[in-house]
Amino acid sequence: MARMSGTGRIVLRGCGLILAGFAYCCANSAAAQSSNGAAVEQYSEAGQRALAEGNFPAAEEAFEKLGTLEPSVAEIHANLGLIYFEEGKYDRAVPALRQALKLKPSLAKTESLLAMSLSELGNYKEALPGLEKGFHHAGDPQIKRMCGLQLERAYLGLQQDRKAVETAMEMDRLFPNDPEVLYHNGKVFGNFAYLTMRRLVEVAPSSVWRHQAAGEAQESQGAYAAAIGEYRQVLAVDPKRPGIHYRLGRVLLARAQQTNSAEDSAAALQEFQQELELDPTNANAAYEIAEMHRKAGRFDDAQKFFAAALQHYPDFEEAHVGLAGALLGLKKNQDALRELNSAIALNASDEVAWYRLSQAQRALGNGAEQQKALAEYQRLHEKTTAQNGIEPITGSREVTKQEIEKDGPQ
C-alpha cells in the first residue's frame, strides 16, 4: 500500500448550493460605473440567468464580455472565477479570482474559492492559509464543508497527517451523515493507520508489537500461514502474552472453515482453551469454544461456555444470541426467549436474533409474536443484502458471527 497522495477531484454537491454560497450579483454596480450601461446590464442579466440555470458555457461567455467592458468590477472577476472552477478550468480560475481580490479584498467567499482552486492544481502550500481560514471561520456551512474536504486533501499532500486526521474528526462532527465526507474521512483514517503501523516497523522491528501487528494484518488478508508464524513469534518472545492464543485459534478456525480441516479445528479449540487458562476472563475465547460446541450439537457444553463469556462481559450481544441457539437446541425455549430479548435490547439490528426470536415464539406457541419477529428479520435481511460489499476497513471480525442455519439446530 502506498502513501495516500491527496490527489483526486473533490466532488461538489449540487450547483444550486455552490452558487448560493459563492455567486455575486453585479448588474447594478457594473452598470452604475459604466458608460456602456445597456450592454453591461444585458450581459450581466444573461450571465446571472445562465449561472442560476447551471449553464456554465453561456455564463462564461457573458461574464468574459462583462470583464472586457468593465475590468475594474471585482464581482465580475469573482463570478468568472466561479464559472471556471465549476468547469474544472482551475488554471483560469486562479487569475480571475486573484484579480477579484486585488480589486476588493473583502470578498471572503472568493478567497475560499481561490484556495480551493489552488488545491485542485496541487498547490497545497499556497492554498493552505485560505483553506484553513474558510474551514475555521466561514459562516456558510457549505463553504466550510468544501474547504474542509480540500483541507484534508492539502494536509495529506503536504504529509501533515495528524492535521488531516484532526480535520477529518471535526468534519465528522459537523457533517456526520454526509456520504462524501464519510468517504474522504475513511481514507484519511485508513492512511493514518497505515503510516502508524509502518512507523512501528521502523522503530521496533523485532518487538512483540510489530509481530502482533503483522499477524493481524496477515490474518485480515487471509494469509493464514504467515499470520500463524507471526503470532508464534510473539509467543516465542512472551509465552504468556494475553490474547495471542486466542488470535492463533481464530486463524486456525478460519483456515479449518476454508479447507474443512479437522486437524486445524481441533488445534483452534486447543488454542482457545490455552487462552482461557492464561486469562479466564477472556470472553471472546469462551465464546468461540461455545460456538464450536453449538455447531457440533453439544448444547450442554455450549451453554456452559456462552454463560462463562456473559459472566465476564454481560453486554456481549453475540453471546446472548449464541446462548439462545444452544437453549433452543436443549428445548429451553423460555430461557432462549430471555436471552434473545437481551440481545435485541443491545442491538436491535441483529437479524439473526430476530430470526431465532421467531423460532422461540413458535416453539412457545405464540403465533402472532412469531410473525412480528419474522417480519422484522425479513426487513433487516433485505437491508443487509442491499449493503452487501461494504466491509470494515479494519479487517476481520473479532468473533465468529452468529448465522442462520435453517437446516440445523439453532
Domain borders along the chain are 14-106, 280-389+402-410
Please write the tens of the pLDDT for every residue from 149-158: 999 999 999 9
CATH of domain 280-389+402-410: 1.25.40.10
Over residues 123-150, the mean pLDDT reads: 93
Check residue 227 and give its pLDDT: 93
Specify the pLDDT at position 150. Answer: 95
Q: For the chain, give me the number of helices (H) and strands (E)?
A: 21, 0
Q: What is residue 406's predicted lDDT score, i.e. its pLDDT? A: 61
With a pLDDT cut of 70, the percent of the chain lying above it is 87
CATH superfamily ID and name for 14-106: Tetratricopeptide repeat domain (1.25.40.10)
At residue 259, φ and ψ (nearest 5 deg) are -105, -5
Digit-coded pLDDT (tens) for 13-24: 333 334 444 555
Residue 275 banded pLDDT, cuts 50, 70, 90: very high
Averaged pLDDT, 364-371: 96
Q: What is the pLDDT of residue 191?
A: 87
Per-residue pLDDT tens over the stretch 316-326: 999 999 999 99
Predicted pLDDT at 32: 47
**Fold match flag (14-106 vs 280-389+402-410):** yes
Q: What was the pLDDT predicted at 201? A: 82
Residue that has been written with the C-alpha cell 444585458 in this structure: 42
Q: Which residues of 276-293 are buried (b: 16+ CB within 10 A; e: fewer)?
A: bebbeebbbbbbbbbbbb
Q: What whole-number distance in Å separates Cα of residue 55 and Cα of residue 44?
A: 14
Q: How far apart are CA 398 and CA 102, in angstroms?
A: 58
Residue 128 confidence (pLDDT) above 80: yes
Average per-residue pLDDT for the chain: 87
The pLDDT value recorded for residue 154 is 95
Q: Is the pLDDT of residue 173 over 80?
A: yes
Mean pLDDT of 133-144: 91
In whole angstroms, what is the distance from residue 58 CA to residue 64 CA?
Answer: 10
Contact 231, 218 (CB under 8 A): no
CA dist., res. 169 & res. 398, Å (int): 25
Cβ 271 vs Cβ 246: under 8 Å: yes
Split at pLDDT 50, 70, 90, the class of 229 is very high
Q: Tally Cβ neighbours within 10 Å of residue 348.
A: 11
User: How confident is residue 45, by pLDDT bands cut at 50, 70 and 90?
Assistant: confident
